[in-house]
Amino acid sequence: MRALSLSPLVCLAVAGCGPLGASPSADGSRVVRGEVLYEARHATPTGVSAQIELRPARRVDVALLAGGEVVAEGRTDEAGRFAIEGPARATHVRVYARARADGQDAAVARDAGGLDTHAMEAPIGAEPLALRALDARGDAGAFHVVDTMLRGLDAVRAWTGRSLPPVFVYWVRGGTREWSFYRGERPAGSGRFALELLGGDPGQQSTTDTDEHDEAIILHELGHFVMDRLTSSSSSGGMHPRGVRVDPGLAWEEGRASWFAVAVLGEPYYRDTIGVEPWGSLRVDEDLERGEDPTAGLASETTTSRVLWDLSDGEALPDEDRDGVALGPAVVLAAMIAHGEEPGAFPSLPSFLRHLVAAGRIDEAPLRAMLRATGLPADELLPADGTVPWPRDLEVGARRSAKIDGLTQPAPSGGPNLPQVGFDANHTYRVRVTEPGMLTARLRIVGSGGAEDRTDLDLELRDLRAEILADARGPQPIEAVARFVTPGWYVVRVRDHGDGNRADYTLEVDLETL
């Protein structure tokens, strides 16, 4: 395991911390005391702050070393202090960006497999130990990430009483440069789950996107992990730029991950920085209380975040727009868990709102009033006839005709078009199977089904967690998928091939029983 060296620094005075450093005892052991702080930055309109704030590295693992080997272990407390008894021959102390206490297990790793935990090392001297993780060296970012994860995991436990499986973040300065992700279980079957955060371009922290100081982004990705472990999943993935009407399942999953982030932070501001002030900027700057949503509705990620915030605020969370509803984040998360356990649940924002009403968590009248008061389309999000507009239900043996449009600009339903995940470019159907058999979905396209007339559509069969079971992506007018299935609910998706297509189609689903 690679470690970085730090020189002992001047002890920072902390009331009640006692003497720091190594204290020899008569029996040849000693107690090594110390304090670990890390440098944190915060978001500004022109990137993360140049100003540094020192924060305690809470509940992280600490080890004493002798000859390079671990001879004693302990952890810091809420103030970042530690006191570890070990053999007198211990010469160094190593501090890990890893917290494994009080039912939480979170770490930050230098590798995608989570094996090389970020750590820093310093010699044990006669002088008091006061260790600082420096941002310039990349150490501070690792400790900021793990501390932010602890905030999120602590919130989940406070809201639900549950502790989650081990989770780690792959982050290194100059590492991942595409996007930040939730990677799921890594490796498969390990019981350990992974996030991946942007590290920016090597040596260019001041001007490129690196997420170790973006608490909203860290918590957003952690939010995906929380929802994956506690609730359902109805997103087929993909990019999700603001101001675009996307697939409602994608809007739901991304929007509630952002809600989780702001609920943990306790303020309605969702920000993603690029670079350090004054050279940086904000990639995302949303005020969920007062911001605008040009494509408001069931297919808007921002609408999802705003509605969930307004359902939660008013007691523990600030309510600036006085929307009249105050369920609290614990109730909202509990409702998500319960909704995900319903038979056939493949949630979107409208189905969640309908669940809240059906479960008696809120009456429909004040919920509808809240939507209208905040400028959102109540009739689309909570149809008066009690229906749920997404996904569409399709019975075995039935057929449906519709039109995919990932070509028209702007999109027919409004906003910029996005062939890969746009609302008009993707149609989702839910199918219930009551007995085992071969489930076949057949798509008939009006046109060549290829690139020459821009009618290339694809067909997917997925399970209720949006995992692909079978797909057909060829350039022909008839696409078909078949899979032996057991009784349950399944999802059939018709979508633009991804490069901009527009075509009428007919979809039919059949089951051949044994």
pLDDT tens, position by position, 90-122: 999 999 999 999 899 999 999 999 999 999 999
Domain boundary among 134, 164, 194: 134
pLDDT band at 390 (very low <50, low <70, confident <90, very high): very high
- Reply yes or no on whether the pLDDT at 15 is more than 80: no
Task: Evaluate whether residue 237 is within a structural domain.
Answer: no
Work out the angle at residue 179's Cα, subtended by the Cα atoms of residues 169 and 227, and round it to the nearest 5 degrees: 55
Residue 241's pLDDT is 82
How many whole angstroms separate alpha carbon 307 and alpha carbon 321? 12
Task: Evaluate whether residue 466 is within a structural domain.
Answer: yes
CATH number for the domain that contains residue 493: 2.60.120.380
Q: Answer whether 218's CB lies under 8 Å from 265's CB.
A: no
| Size (the chain), residues | 514
pLDDT tens, position by position, 131-186: 999 999 999 999 999 999 999 999 999 999 999 999 999 999 888 888 899 999 99
Does 410 sit behind a cis peptide bond, omega within 30 degrees of 0 on the bond before it? yes
Domain boundary among 113, 134, 155: 134
Q: How would you classify the pairing of strands 181-185 and 193-196?
A: antiparallel
Mean pLDDT computed over 335-344: 97
- Reply yes or no on whether the pLDDT at 21 is more than 70: no
Measuring CA to CA, which residue among 182, 117, 139 is closest to residue 36?
139
pLDDT tens, position by position, 462-506: 999 999 999 999 999 999 999 999 999 999 999 999 999 999 999
Residue 243's pLDDT is 85
Mean pLDDT of the chain: 92
- Reply yes or no on whether the pLDDT at 18 is more than 50: no
Task: Evaluate whether residue 212 is within a structural domain.
Answer: no
Residue 495 exposure: Cα atoms within 13 Å on the Cβ side? 25
Among 146-150, 237-241, 351-355, 448-452, the range scoring the smallest mean pLDDT is: 237-241
Using CA atoms, how far residue 55 sits from 12, 44, 95, in Å, is: 12, 19, 15
Mean pLDDT computed over 198-227: 93
- SS3 category, 427: strand
- 380/179: higher pLDDT: 380
Residue 415 falls in which region: left (phi positive, over 0), alpha (psi -120 to 50) or beta: left
Task: Evaluate whether residue 289 is within a structural domain.
Answer: no
Using CA atoms, how far residue 59 sits from 193, 199, 269, in Å, is: 20, 24, 27
CATH number for the domain that contains residue 95: 2.60.40
pLDDT band at 14 (very low <50, low <70, confident <90, very high): very low
Task: Evaluate whether residue 130 is within a structural domain.
Answer: yes
pLDDT band at 28 (very low <50, low <70, confident <90, very high): confident
- Reply yes or no on whether the pLDDT at 262 is more than 60: yes
Q: Give the structural domain span for 34.
A: 4-134
Residue 25's pLDDT is 59
pLDDT band at 22 (very low <50, low <70, confident <90, very high): low
- SS3 category, 31: strand
Residue 12's pLDDT is 30
Mean pLDDT computed over 323-337: 97
Give the whole-number percent of the chain exceeding pLDDT 90: 86
Task: Evaluate whether residue 229 is within a structural domain.
Answer: no
Q: Answer whether 367's CB lies under 8 Å from 373's CB.
A: no
Mapping DSSP onto H, E and C, the string for 125-140 reads: CCCCEEEEECCCCCHH
Residue 174's pLDDT is 87
Among 54-68, 252-266, 284-298, the range scoring the smallest mean pLDDT is: 284-298
Residue 9's pLDDT is 34
Domain boundary among 75, 102, 134: 134
- SS3 category, 314: coil
pLDDT tens, position by position, 402-459: 999 999 999 999 999 999 999 999 999 999 999 999 999 999 999 999 999 999 999 9
Task: Evaluate whether residue 411 is within a structural domain.
Answer: yes
Q: How many domains are there within the chain?
A: 2
Using CA atoms, how far residue 73 sits from 96, 100, 133, in Å, is: 11, 12, 19
Measuring CA to CA, which residue among 122, 50, 61 is closest to residue 90?
122
Task: Evaluate whether residue 429 is within a structural domain.
Answer: yes
Backbone angles phi, psi at 156, to 5 degrees: -60, -45
